[in-house]
Amino acid sequence: MADDYSGTNYLPEYASYNWTGGPSNFDGLTTNAVGGDSRLENLNKWYQSGDSAYIIVASAMVFVMVPGLGFLYSGLARRKSALSLMFTAMASYSVITFQWYFWGYSLTFSDNKANGFIGDLHHFGLKNTLGQPSPGSPLVSTLLYSFYQMQFCAVTAAIQVGAVAERGRILPFLVWTFCWATIVYNPIACWAWNANGWGFVYGVMDYAGGGPVEITSGMSVLAYSLVLGKRQEKMMLNFRPHNVSFILLGTVFLWFGWLGFNGGSSFGANLRAVMASWNTNLTAALASMTWVLLDWRLARKLSMVGWCSGAISGLVAATPASGYLDTWGSVALGIVTGVLCNFGTKVKYWIRIDDSMDVFSEHGLAGMIGLMFNALLGVDYVTGLDGVNTGTGVGGWPIGNYRQFYIQLAYVVACTGYSFVVSALLAYAINYIPGLRLRASEEAELLGMDDDQLGEFAYDYVEVRRDYLAWTPATDGMGTDPDIPQENRHGIGEHQTMIKSGEYGDSSSGASAPETAVHHRQQHAQGDRHGIAAEDSLREKRAGANHDRGEPDLEAAKEK
């Protein structure tokens, strides 16, 4: 810390908020270079136990956002791909936990004064990371700060799971996620939050991650979706979210976690944390109401999905702004975000990219709006509520800092361009690696990602079995007739034609083959494995009974 405590009769045992800055003079920590040595001194005495407890709880709250995203995306998708999205969200958390421990934290927050783009490996494997004051705030230790920041990276990765919805393979996405965290998230987070990052030095106001979390996730999903290609339109007939209850459950998990996400970014149990929580609620509430009203004007119906979409866009916009705006500013931010993000869902049609979960409009665009509002409505008296930044004069137009607008704009442009270009190049590169083709086959898309990628299902039946029972006559016994041709078990004509002819498009991605390429081969049996096995068993029994009675084997005759 640069604060001057000379002339103050202060001992670390009396740590409090009686002055501006951290609760103690950390220059007295004799083992800072190695992160502190508990064999020589009590490292806990430098921190308020309430601050540490609050950030530990906030970290757990942020973690809840990961399964929340799994539920949200699962509900928005079709039933036959529901579980794969939940699995991918949780698997991405495992990947990021290791990546952050391995070198992610070091690349983001190491004290590399010679490089404002990315850190070095001084903290590789969390070396030299223990009790010294964190690079984000003197109120918490580096060990706790690294754990809290890991949750941010993990949530960003989970947001991007929406890119693989209903057509992407899981393993290549997880490989991409590890590499993406290293060359996209870590550098951009370094720009914003590392004291040597160019954005931090330039004066960027990004409270909790409008650049690293929101813009990066929105643009990276757009890039990945571009490489992956669109879902098959012939399989999108009568498409709708399969479980609105899951969408609401996921949104509630996200809102709960976001209070730890934004409130915890004050890095202490202080008034700035309370203000950030208030602003988070206000922005989300106003954005959700605005979104619902805009949808109502078209259908004259209220929409639960619309409310959830608006709430999420508001939570996103509050991420960079909740620690800088007063409450009246958050009301304005919520209304503007609800309007712009609602219309922003149309962008994917203009640019012809299948952003299936609207991640760009609800995360990327909302993050940009929140960052620009920091310049328009940011006030220094909110910034100083944490007791550390008192008197720093950080704010925007209301305090006469008009240059903040182009500082924020330059930062938005840099995050947008870098994350999109690098994410797209990385996706193209991984797509060419043998065994890591990003897209599943058209047959897999028909069956659903649960059947193709997991072999498990979110429910006790899959979409194709429900389709089969709905389109075949009732029979005695099992309620199925194994002699009905596979192509007649589907109510959608395009599915029938594809199964009967054995023709399907190569949808691996635009990077490896033209979308119009058509291949010919025998389709695998359609349906779940247990149902297929039961049908085979029944067919064999029928053939045996016919043979005993001396009757011809009709099934064998059909095959001939």
- Please say whether the beta carbons of 464 and 448 come within 8 A: yes
pLDDT number for residue 482: 58
- Please say whether the beta carbons of 140 and 51 come within 8 A: yes
Phi, psi of 168 (to 5 degrees): -100, 145
pLDDT digits (tens, 9 = 90+) for 421-450: 999 999 999 999 999 999 998 888 888 898
pLDDT digits (tens, 9 = 90+) for 85-120: 999 999 999 999 999 999 999 999 998 877 889 999
Own/partner pairs, 486-495, CB within 8 angstroms, 24+ separation: 486/523, 486/525, 486/526, 489/464, 489/526, 489/527, 490/464, 490/526, 491/467, 492/234, 492/235, 492/237, 494/234, 494/235, 494/237, 495/234, 495/235, 495/446
- Secondary structure of residue 30 in the 3-state scheme: coil
Average pLDDT of the segment spanning 237-251:
88
Which tokens sit at 430? 């991984």
User: What is the spatial distance between Cα 539 and Cα 556, in angstroms, rounded to a whole number?
Assistant: 10
492 has a pLDDT exceeding 80: no
pLDDT digits (tens, 9 = 90+) for 287-321: 999 999 999 988 889 999 999 999 999 999 999 99
pLDDT number for residue 267: 94
338 has a pLDDT exceeding 90: yes
Q: CB-based burial of residue 105 (10 Å sphere; 0-12 exposed, 13-18 middle, 19+ buried)?
A: buried
Q: Which residue has the higher pLDDT, 451 or 157?
A: 157
With CA atoms as reference, report the closest residue to 226 among 168, 170, 143, 183.
Answer: 168
Average pLDDT of the segment spanning 247-261:
97
User: What is the spatial distance between Cα 554 and Cα 380, in angstroms, rounded to a whole number?
Assistant: 83
pLDDT number for residue 524: 45
14 has a pLDDT exceeding 50: no
With CA atoms as reference, report the closest residue to 311 among 389, 258, 369.
Answer: 258
In angstroms and rounded to an integer, the radius of gyration of the C-alpha atoms of the chain is: 27
User: What is the spatial distance between Cα 65 and Cα 151, in angstroms, rounded to a whole number?
Assistant: 9
Q: How many CB atoms lie within 10 A of CB 300?
A: 7
CA 336 to chain centre: 23
Q: Identify the band that residue 5 occupies on the pLDDT scale cut at 50, 70 and 90.
A: very low
pLDDT number for residue 544: 73
- Please say whether the beta carbons of 322 and 379 come within 8 A: no
Q: Identify the band that residue 133 occupies on the pLDDT scale cut at 50, 70 and 90.
A: confident
- Any alpha helices (H) in 361-450, and if so which ranges? 366-377, 380-383, 404-431, 442-447, 449
Would the pTM of this model clear 0.75, i.e. be above it? Answer: yes
User: What is the spatial distance between Cα 466 and Cα 93, in angstroms, rounded to a whole number?
Assistant: 32
With CA atoms as reference, report the closest residue to 450 among 442, 461, 439, 435.
Answer: 461
pLDDT number for residue 511: 43
pLDDT number for residue 371: 97
User: What is the spatial distance between Cα 316 and Cα 337, in angstroms, rounded to a whole number?
Assistant: 9
Which tokens sit at 289? 């109401």
Which tokens sit at 315? 């939570």
pLDDT number for residue 443: 85
Range name among 46-55, 91-100, 452-461, 510-519 with the lowest pLDDT average: 510-519
Q: Which residue has the higher pLDDT, 236 or 369?
A: 369
Which tokens sit at 237? 């007939």
> How much of the chain exceeds pLDDT 90, in percent?
60
| The pairing of beta strand 518-520 with beta strand 503-505 | antiparallel
pLDDT number for residue 542: 73
342 has a pLDDT exceeding 80: yes
Burial 505-515 (b: 16+ CB within 10 A, else e): bbbbbbbeeee
User: What is the spatial distance between Cα 44 and Cα 52, in angstroms, rounded to a whole number?
Assistant: 10
pLDDT digits (tens, 9 = 90+) for 20-61: 565 555 655 666 666 777 777 777 877 888 999 999 999 999
Q: Which residue has the higher pLDDT, 533 or 331?
A: 331
- Please say whether the beta carbons of 330 and 283 come within 8 A: yes
Which tokens sit at 17? 């908020």
pLDDT number for residue 40: 74
pLDDT number for residue 550: 67
pLDDT number for residue 499: 52
Average pLDDT of the segment spanning 61-80:
95
- So where are the chain's domains? 49-454
- Please say whether the beta carbons of 327 and 278 come within 8 A: yes
513 has a pLDDT exceeding 60: no
User: What is the spatial distance between Cα 7 and Cα 292, in angstroms, rounded to a whole number?
Assistant: 58
User: What is the spatial distance between Cα 497 and Cα 234, in angstroms, rounded to a whole number?
Assistant: 11
pLDDT number for residue 460: 65
Average pLDDT of the segment spanning 235-259:
89
Mean pLDDT of the chain, nearest integer: 83
Distances in Å between the alpha carbon of 92 and those of 171, 429, 559? Answer: 10, 20, 45
* Superfamily classification of domain 49-454: Ammonium transporter AmtB like domains (1.10.3430.10)
The torsion angle over the Cα atoms of residues 280, 165, 289 and 212, rounded to 10 degrees, is 30
Q: Which residue has the higher pLDDT, 17 or 284?
A: 284
Distances in Å between the alpha carbon of 58 and those of 148, 258, 443? Answer: 8, 9, 43
Reported as half-sphere exposure (CB side, CA atoms, 13 A), residue 75 has a value of 18
474 has a pLDDT exceeding 60: no
Average pLDDT of the segment spanning 499-514:
47
pLDDT digits (tens, 9 = 90+) for 168-204: 999 999 999 999 999 999 999 999 999 999 999 999 9
398 has a pLDDT exceeding 50: yes
Q: Which residue has the higher pLDDT, 12 or 268?
A: 268
pLDDT digits (tens, 9 = 90+) for 400-428: 999 999 999 999 999 999 999 999 999 99
pLDDT number for residue 264: 96
